[in-house]
């Protein structure tokens, strides 16, 4: 764990050295105050000399000034290091998360991941930026103080030291327990956060189904769970602190008795005993301080473990470009030269949570450059999964997908994705202006290009009516848009990206008939000379494409033009009949609608 943390601290070695020097200097100065105490007692009080007292106090003052200068540097440097290292860890963590495949985020609640970026790193910051230096300073004081104690009086030192084993062993024992409990309590706290996040994000559904009481009760259970684990940890720590206190104070009392007797019998000067008591108090206080932060350091170790776990998660999707290839060139190609020919060769895929069921089953399909191909079929047939495979959010279990003859798993995922523009079913807008949202796919687009794209997507008009036009703020805290407006922005974003391959997932489903007609025209223009995959439930929107691929239960069951399929594909004909209400020769029109067919009608007319 320490070597892991060291890798983050290493770049700031110089500051660490300055902090260490300041730390050593302040510790030495603090301990030398003991000599001030001795001088004050022996040369001032015992010698009854005012000059002696003044000299001793002057020395005391000089030490204190030097000490405060050292403390300034120590505090500044150490806090700086804490903040700096945590900012670096946060950045590294976030960069790493961005590389992980979407399936990771399906398996892990986003609230829990967020808690690692915020809560766990904050804990680390407290430890690196204060507790660690505090513990180190106190450990040095302990060691230095102990040395000086022995130097000034061996007999009294041994009395004090008698209690040390009684402190150290419980410290180690409790420390382990505290570490385990804090990890448990942090896990609980993270899941409480995740719980709250999910319900609050979907507050409309919670309220519409009037489930507030249930959600609130479930949250209470989670919060109480976190509390009871925290309580166990606190009990352990409280016990530890009390134990140490009793032992330390007891040994000081014993030492004072023996030392006081020596002073009374003249074996020891009052100053020597004073200095010894000063060191003993320093030693005891520093030991107590170390035990107090030890628990905190253990908590941070738990946090660091959680962060490290996340950083060690390997992205599932990696480029295999460096592996030797049989026939394909893995040479990087600019997307300008890309033709956009896509071939699926015996591709099968199943989701890890359902390994037995192939979401895509032995798919072989060749899509020519510039071809428009529609993917239709009942809900759950595997259409969206196909998009995920194309964009390499997931990798096929068997078979291969290639673009212009190059297997996509041999491309850098970033390069591969740069060939595509996706218009998703649920358009996503970020908390920024319309400008930035449209430029998302092409940050260097000029103003004129953005406006042109917005016009082509029939979005310009409504954008101009927003409070601040293109400057209007969208997303979470911004202007709310209708489903159709969001969809037009998503289309404008895709137009601006100017991709080689276009993926439209129900891109016009939220538009009214008038806008759909206009946007369809814009899309027709956009689709020219681009390979386009269109997922559509409403067959009317894809009747004119080059080919329609009909999917059912992950299998490609039929392929052809609308007219061809009407006569050759029973499934397509059935869907068409339901939607266009036209009589289809190959289907028995008296056929009673089965229950599953009724489901399809509902899905198909979504
Ligand atoms: N993340 C996932 N984990 C497990 N199974 C999944 C996951 N996503 C989809 N599936 C399953 O894979 C199958 C194909 O789903 P997919 O979303 O590709 O269908 P679709 O044809 O796009 O459906 P729709 O038209 O309703 O969007 C379905 O049986 C679905 O339940």
3-state secondary structure 132-200: HHHHHHHHHHHHHHHHHHHHHCHHHHHHHHCCHHHHHHHHHHHHHHHHHHHHHHHHHHHHHHHHHHHHH
In short, whether 383's Cβ falls inside 6 Å of ligand 1 is: yes
**Ligand 1: which of 352, 353, 359 to mutate, judged by most atoms within 8 Å of the beta carbon?**
359
* Distance from C-alpha of 447 to C-alpha of 470, rounded to nearest angstrom: 10
Q: SS3 sequence, 363-404?
A: EEEEECCCCEEEEECCCCCCHHHHHHHHCCCCCCCEEEEEEC
DSSP string over 190-254: HHHHHHHHHHHHTHHHHHHTT-HHHHHHHHHHHHHHHHHHHHHHHHHHHHHHHHHHHHHHHHHHH
For residue 350, report the distance from its CA to the centre of ligand 1, in Å: 10
Ligand 1 mutation pick, 350, 351, 424, max ligand atoms within 8 A of CB: 351
Contact 123, 306 (CB under 8 A): no
Measured in Å, residue 406 CA sits from the centre of ligand 1 at: 27
Q: Compute and round to an integer the Cα radius of gyration of the chain.
A: 36
> CATH 1.20.1560.10: does it fit domain 2-312?
yes
The rounded distance, in Å, linking the Cα atoms of 302 and 181 is 9
414 lines ligand 1 (CB under 6 A): no
List Cβ neighbours of 592 (8 Å cut-off, separation of 6 or more).
Answer: none
- The domain spans of the chain are 2-312
Ligand 1 neighbourhood includes 359 CB (under 6 angstroms): yes
Kindly state if the Cβ of 384 falls inside 6 Å of ligand 1: yes
How far is the centre of ligand 1, averaged over its atoms, from the C-alpha of 382 (Å)?
Answer: 6
3-state secondary structure of 424: coil
Give just the sign of the alpha carbon dihedral 52, 54, 58, 61: positive
Q: Is 271 in the pocket of ligand 1 (CB under 6 A)?
A: no
DSSP state of 405: T
- Long-range pairs of 593-600 with CB within 8 A, sequence gap ≥ 24: 599/378, 599/379, 600/378, 600/379, 600/574, 600/575
Cα 168 from Cα 378, distance rounded (Å): 68
Q: How far is CA 276 from the centre of its chain?
A: 52
Ligand 1 centroid, distance to 551 Cα (angstroms):
12
Q: State the helix-helix crossing angle for 13-39 and 50-99, rounded to 10 degrees.
A: 160
The edge-to-edge listing of strands for the beta sheet with 531-535 is 420-423, 501-505, 531-535, 372-376, 547-552, 555-560
CB 267 within 8 A of CB 274: no
Amino acid 334: pLDDT: 55
Tokens of 340: 């956009």
Whole-model pTM? 0.71
Give the Cα separation of 158 and 138 in Å (integer): 20
> What's the confidence (pLDDT) of residue 49?
77
How many CB atoms lie under 10 A from the CB of residue 490? 29
Give pLDDT, residue 329: 46
Cβ contact 362:347 at 8 Å: yes
Contact 299, 182 (CB under 8 A): yes
Beta bridge partners of 347: 363
Which tokens sit at 597?
């067919």
Which of 107, 360, 374, 384 has most ligand 1 atoms within 8 Å of CB, for mutation? 384
- What is the DSSP secondary structure assignment for residue 440, as one 8-state letter? G
Tell me what pLDDT residue 477 has: 62
∠ CA 221-118-16, nearest 5°, is 140
Q: Which alpha helices (DSSP H) does 40-163 contain, by range?
A: 50-99, 102-107, 110-115, 121-126, 132-152, 154-161
Q: What is the pLDDT of residue 372?
A: 93
**What gap in Å lies between CA 498 and CA 595, rounded to an integer?**
43
Distance from C-alpha of 456 to C-alpha of 522, rounded to nearest angstrom: 6
Judge whether 487 and 507 are in contact, CB under 8 Å: yes
Using the mean position of ligand 1's atoms as its centre, give its distance from the Cα of residue 550 in Å. Answer: 15
Rounded distance between C-alpha atoms, residue 135 and residue 139, angstroms: 6
Mean pLDDT by 10 residues, the chain (606 residues): 84 91 90 81 76 82 91 89 89 90 79 80 82 83 89 85 76 76 77 77 85 87 85 84 82 84 88 87 82 77 85 82 52 65 94 88 93 91 92 92 91 88 86 90 90 90 90 77 85 90 85 78 81 89 89 92 90 85 44 39 42
């Amino acid at each position: 764990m320490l070597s892991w943390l060291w890798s983050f601290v290493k770049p700031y070695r110089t500051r660490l050295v300055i902090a260490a020097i300041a730390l050593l200097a302040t510790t030495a100065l603090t301990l030398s105050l003991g000599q001030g105490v001795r001088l004050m007692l022996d040369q001032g009080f015992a010698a009854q000399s005012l000059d002696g007292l003044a000299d001793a106090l002057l020395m005391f003052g000089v030490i204190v000034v030097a000490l405060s200068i050292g403390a300034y540097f120590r505090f500044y440097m150490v806090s700086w290091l804490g903040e700096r290292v945590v900012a670096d860890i946060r950045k590294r963590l976030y960069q790493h998360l961005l590389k992980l495949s979407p399936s990771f985020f399906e398996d892990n609640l986003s609230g829990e991941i967020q808690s690692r970026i915020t809560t766990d790193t904050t804990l680390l910051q407290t430890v690196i930026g204060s507790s660690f230096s505090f513990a180190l300073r106190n450990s040095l004081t302990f060691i230095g103080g102990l040395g000086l104690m022995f130097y000034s009086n061996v007999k009294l030192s041994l009395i004090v030291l008698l209690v040390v084993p009684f402190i150290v062993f419980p410290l180690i024992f409790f420390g382990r327990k505290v570490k385990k409990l804090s990890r448990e309590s942090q896990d609980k706290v993270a899941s409480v956060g995740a719980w709250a996040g999910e319900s609050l994000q979907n507050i409309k559904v919670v309220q519409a189904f009037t489930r507030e009481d249930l959600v609130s009760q479930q949250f209470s259970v989670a919060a109480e769970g976190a509390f009871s684990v925290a309580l166990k940890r606190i009990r352990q720590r409280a016990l530890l602190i009390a134990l140490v206190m009793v032992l330390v104070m007891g040994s000081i009392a014993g030492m004072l008795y023996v030392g006081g007797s020596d002073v009374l019998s003249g074996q020891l000067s009052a100053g020597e005993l004073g200095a010894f008591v000063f060191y003993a108090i320093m030693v005891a206080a520093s030991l107590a301080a170390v035990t107090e932060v030890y628990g905190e350091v253990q908590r941070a170790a738990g946090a660091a473990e959680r962060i490290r776990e996340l950083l060690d998660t390997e992205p599932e999707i990696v480029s295999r470009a460096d592996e030797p290839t049989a026939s394909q060139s893995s040479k990087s190609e600019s997307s300008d030269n890309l033709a956009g020919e896509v071939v699926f060769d015996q591709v099968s895929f199943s989701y890890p949570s359902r390994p037995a069921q192939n979401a895509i089953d032995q798919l072989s399909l060749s899509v020519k450059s510039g071809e428009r191909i529609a993917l239709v079929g009942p809900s759950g047939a595997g259409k969206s999964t196909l998009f995920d495979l194309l964009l390499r959010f997931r990798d096929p279990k068997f078979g291969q997908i290639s673009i212009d003859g190059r297997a996509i798993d041999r491309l850098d995922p970033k390069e591969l994705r740069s060939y595509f523009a996706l218009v998703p079913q649920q358009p996503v807008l970020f908390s920024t202006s319309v400008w930035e949202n449209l430029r998302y796919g092409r940050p260097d687009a000029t103003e004129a290009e953005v406006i042109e794209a917005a016009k082509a997507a029939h979005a310009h008009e409504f954008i101009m009516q927003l409070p601040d036009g293109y400057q209007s703020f969208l997303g979470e805290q911004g202007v709310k848009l209708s489903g159709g407006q969001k969809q037009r922005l998503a289309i404008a974003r895709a137009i601006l990206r100017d991709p080689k391959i276009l993926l439209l997932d129900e891109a016009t489903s939220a538009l009214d008939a008038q806008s759909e007609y206009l946007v369809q025209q814009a899309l027709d223009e956009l689709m020219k000379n681009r390979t386009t995959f269109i997922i559509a439930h409403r067959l009317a929107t894809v009747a004119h494409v080059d080919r329609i691929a009909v999917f059912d239960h992950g299998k490609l069951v039929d392929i052809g033009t609308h007219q061809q399929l009407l006569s050759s594909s029973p499934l397509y004909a059935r869907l068409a009949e339901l939607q266009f209400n036209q009589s289809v020769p190959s289907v028995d029109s008296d056929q009673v609608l089965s229950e599953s067919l009724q489901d399809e009608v509902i899905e198909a007319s979504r």
